[in-house]
Amino acid sequence: MAQYLVQSEWDDRKHRSLQRNIKTAKFRYVADVNGIDFSEKRELDKNQIDRLFTCEFIKKAQDVFITGSTGTGKSYLA
C-alpha cells in the first residue's frame, strides 16, 4: 500500500513540474499531434511526423529542420 502512495506522490510531483515548465516556457502554440491537418495541400508525410513524435532523434542527438512555405504550419509542428 505504501508503495502505491509513494508512486502516486512521485507521479503527481513530476506532472506538476512538467506543467510548471510548460507554463514558464510561454510556448506560442498549444499543439499536439492530433491537431495536425494532413490534407493533401499541406503535403505532410504522416509516417514521418509519427516518427518525429517518438523523439528518437533526441536520443540519437540528431538535428531536425522544418522547412516550407509561409503559412504551412512550421511553427505549429515545431
pLDDT in tens, 19-65: 999 899 988 888 888 888 888 888 888 898 889 889 999 999 999 99
49 touches 36 (CB < 8 A): yes
Alpha-helical segments (H) within 1-78: 2-25, 46-52, 56-59, 74-77
Say what the pTM is.
Answer: 0.57
Q: What cell does 63 get?
A: 538535428
Q: Is pLDDT at 76 greater than 80 in this prediction? A: yes
Cell 510548471 locates to: 20
Amino acid at position 67, single letter: T
Which range marks the domain in which residue 21 is found? 1-76
Structure-model confidence comparison of residues 41 and 17, the more confident one? 17
Domains in the chain: how many in total? 1
